[in-house]
Structure 1
């Protein structure tokens, strides 16, 4: 009998993130799934983000007592139940109604932080009201800095812990496969309009009765009546600022006194600069392969950045995480923690909030099993000698010195 993944729609039967991905692909219209899935240009970076994990081979220990295992990790001195969090992803209202609320509740239940995207269809105030949530806010430094300052003030009033500023989108990446779905900007071509009609469940969930979802954190930035996912794109593109520099990080540091995390760097020298400008943490990221095609993966630059920031900087990363063993490899190479993007969205699209929670549980279970099979009872026992590939082991040892 030929092997194949589960072909049904019951997210509870998904045994891994790839099966949730296939369920999401079947449930969503093509244009919506393509927005989640696609990368820039030839998608070389997108593919590299996944392929790089295969080069990090593990060398487990045996005859160690792993009967009790712990997966908790502190971020900025505050415990989290798992060493990963839900990273910022925009337009989630196009996957399911109130998508960000579903993700925030799943994160709160799992005891991990949730980072709300600036391009969210849920207001930060509604996220902050979720019981037990540890909410962080992602922002872009738009040209209209008065809007940014007002958003920072909203975050301050809600007493949120951290702001995550994304810096790698000052120029918009060339996402060709996404653009091919449109006859002209934001107008689906005939093939995709017909495809939407083939997904009545999605239509009733997302579009009925209020139509296309609306941005809830960008109201004072957008022209009147242009706050829908469809209508705002032109205005947002005009707000991207290619003159963005470290001076703008200094400005943000001056008006925000909570934890400040810079997301989107990939070069070790930028980590040095981040510390000079008073940044508390960084997220190594190539924007999920959606910006510069041919860029290095975050995992490849992680050990050097971890070495530079050791004891002074929380070093997170994202990009390509689909297995608990992927997360373990990042921790072995010096990461403080990992941001989950598409993996959570596949669960969300497949089964709403319960599907997102199932995606988190899959990763938790895989990470727990990986930890035990490595011969470790907690994350602090992860050490470079558990890496077999000599190149990676050498880098991991340097990161821990």
Structure 2
């Protein structure tokens, strides 16, 4: 990791070390990838205002999110199939996040189960929930998160149906991978480290689902069940139902419209994540950073607004905070690190962004996260 200087370096290393199907799952977006590109391009269009001769000797990246003290304004976002990027990937990512003093969010579609992660880390983590048609299963998932002492529930609200991701179809993505397909055999032979790590992992299927559905005893039936469970009837009343079960902090992830943000506030959720699912759902939607200020202006301080969508650097974090976000989620940035080097790779990704943010703050004349606002943008 000593020669890694930026997130793109981790991306390139990830691409070399992980089979194309799993790299493509992380790297690609839906359809023509217009929204995926817009997330990055619109962040880069925001220019920062350089300041000089300001005492910046006491810079501090610490802040709070939902009342929790964290060492920098960053959260590891929920990513499905993390354990197929690196053996026991979710455990390694959670450990790296906790060592860095920031939250980690476990996906419903993780390879390691809630219980696996809880048994192998020192502190509570966040859990992300997909609401499926089988409400009994959803209730059981929430109860398992409660038993594991998860400190926040992140409800994803923008996946009532799945946007097509061309890369996944072309690469024949499956969990576990189809080992006997010729293209996969050739790909895996060139990545023996990845194969060995996956084989050592605790699970090679969806850990939160396997073993908890009596009618789904093998991979084919589990995958078929998941595909049938996207719920197009999901609505605001379901948020009320979840709040009746979950006693802790609730965050709604996938808010991308001012009207929806106002409705989200009415639910009493403790926070929301402005997100377009990383450009993996509605292609042709605006970038997350372009809608962030409108949402912040509309709801003021009624709830905490987090940001997700295209963060690849500390400069990007600065841009999002300047536009009104309380903190930022990263997905691809840390998964590139996970695929590149497990826990050390995730730690490297976090450190890269932290160091870039610290330098950026200094060159903008900022000492505290709370000082970051519109004044750091060069208009």
* Cα distance per residue 1:82-133 (max 9 Å; x no partner): 1011110010111111100000000100000110000111121233345543
Q: 1:81 aligns with which of 71, 79, 96?
A: 71
Q: Which residue of 2 aligns with 1:33?
A: 23
Q: Which residue of 2 aligns with 1:259?
A: 249
Gaps of 5+ in 2: none
Equivalents in 2 of 1:271, 1:143: separation in Å? 24
Q: Which residue of 2 aligns with 1:115?
A: 105
Q: Which residue of 2 aligns with 1:214?
A: 205
Equivalents in 2 of 1:183, 1:76: separation in Å? 36
Q: Which residue of 1 aligns with 2:196?
A: 204
Question: Which aligned runs of 4 or more in structure 1 are off by greater than 6 angstroms?
Answer: 183-186
Preserved CA contact (<8 Å) 2:87 2:200: no
Q: Which residue of 2 aligns with 1:357?
A: 347
Q: Which residue of 1 aligns with 2:149?
A: 159
Preserved CA contact (<8 Å) 1:80 1:112: yes
Preserved CA contact (<8 Å) 2:124 2:149: no
Tell me how far 1:192 sits from its aligned partner.
Answer: 3.4
Tell me how far 1:136 sits from its aligned partner.
Answer: 0.7
Q: 1:190 aligns with which of 166, 182, 189?
A: 182
Instruction: Say if 1:82 and 1:209 are closer, same or farther in 2 by CA, change over 3 A.
Output: closer
Q: 2:61 aligns with which of 64, 71, 85?
A: 71
Tell me how far 1:21 sits from its aligned partner.
Answer: 0.5
SS in 1 for 2:228: helix
Stretch deviating more after TM superposition (237-246 or 123-132):
123-132
Preserved CA contact (<8 Å) 1:104 1:133: no
Equivalents in 2 of 1:236, 1:222: separation in Å? 14
Q: Which residues in structure 2 correspond to 1:210-359 (within 5 Å)?
A: 213-219=204-210, 220-221=212-213, 223-226=215-218, 228=219, 232-359=222-349
Preserved CA contact (<8 Å) 1:113 1:133: no
Q: Which residue of 2 aligns with 1:95?
A: 85
Q: Which residues in structure 2 correspond to 1:6-17 (within 5 Å)?
A: 11-17=1-7
Preserved CA contact (<8 Å) 1:144 1:221: no
Equivalents in 2 of 1:183, 1:50: separation in Å? 25
Instruction: Say if 1:336 and 1:221 are closer, same or farther in 2 by CA, change over 3 A.
Output: farther
Query: RCO greater where, 1 or 2, for CA within 8 Å and sep 6 or more?
Result: 2
Preserved CA contact (<8 Å) 2:154 2:251: yes
Equivalents in 2 of 1:136, 1:274: separation in Å? 19
SS in 2 for 1:247: helix
TM-score by length of 1: 0.89
Preserved CA contact (<8 Å) 1:104 1:130: no
Q: Which residue of 2 aligns with 1:55?
A: 45
SS in 2 for 1:273: helix
Preserved CA contact (<8 Å) 1:38 1:290: yes
RMSD value over aligned CA atoms? 2.0
Tell me how far 1:152 sits from its aligned partner.
Answer: 1.1
SS in 2 for 1:90: coil
TM-score by length of 2: 0.94
Equivalents in 1 of 2:183, 2:11: separation in Å? 22
Task: Provide the aligned length of Structure 1 versus Structure 2.
Answer: 376
